Structure formats: structure tokens, C-alpha cells
Amino acid sequence: MSYTVGDGLVTLALAAGIVGYVYVTHQSRRKRLELIHQERLVAMEKGIPLPEFPLEPAGKPHGPDPNVLPIMGTVFLSLSVGAMIVLYRILDAAEHGFWVAPLPLAFLGVGLLVFHFLNRDAGR
């Protein structure tokens, strides 16, 4: 394979974006901890008791999203049906039977949609 200068630039841009994101999140966390420390020092000087709290806020545990299954089912079904249509239209006569290759993804999408709707009706 021969790589171009554009491929190298894309790789460098992605690496720079990741490093920049990590740097910005680290700096924001450091500034937040510094602000908390200054507030505690001022409160200690004034004699105000502060409750203990974790440095990292705990995320609220939440249940699974009920919309994931129908969304994934719709995406799999639409992508596979579109791929089947494209393959049917562009393949030569000798390779015309390969248009059914995305059919397992279509069945997966239909299965996810059916499971979602049957599971939703069973909960009533």
C-alpha cells in the first residue's frame, strides 16, 4: 500500500484532536479541584464546617434505554435493504445472486424490531 501525505495529515489531525481533548479535560478537572481547595481553605479560616463529598461526582445509575432496540433494528434493516438494492442494481449477470449477502442483517433488524414490540406488549 502506498500512503499519501493526506493520509498522514489525517492521522496527525486525529492524534492532535485526541491529545487536545485529554488536555482540556485534565485542565478543567485540575481547575475544579483547585477551586474546591480554595473554598475549603477559606471555610477553614472562617471556622465553617464543610461536609465531605467525593471529588468526582457519581453518575446516577439508570436502567437500559428502551429505545435502543428499535433504533438498532431500524438501522440494520434500512442499511441491509439499501445494500441489497444497490447490489442488485450494480452487479453483473454472472454475480447477480450476491444481492442476498446483506440478508442476515435484514433478519437481525427485523428480529430486533419484533423483539422490542413483543417485549413492550408483554409488559402491559
Could you state, in order of their start, the residue ranges of all structural domains in the chain? Answer: 1-60, 68-122
Question: Is residue 60 predicted with pLDDT exceeding 70?
Answer: yes
**Quick check: 104 and 81 in contact, CB under 8 A?**
no
Backbone angles phi and psi of 97, in degrees to 5: -75, -10
Q: How many CB atoms lie within 10 A of CB 102?
A: 19
d(CA 105, CA 16): 36
Q: And the C-alpha cell for 86?
A: 444497490
What are the tens digits of pLDDT across the range 66-115?
889 999 999 999 999 999 999 999 988 888 889 899 999 999 999 999 99
Predicted TM-score of the model (pTM):
0.52
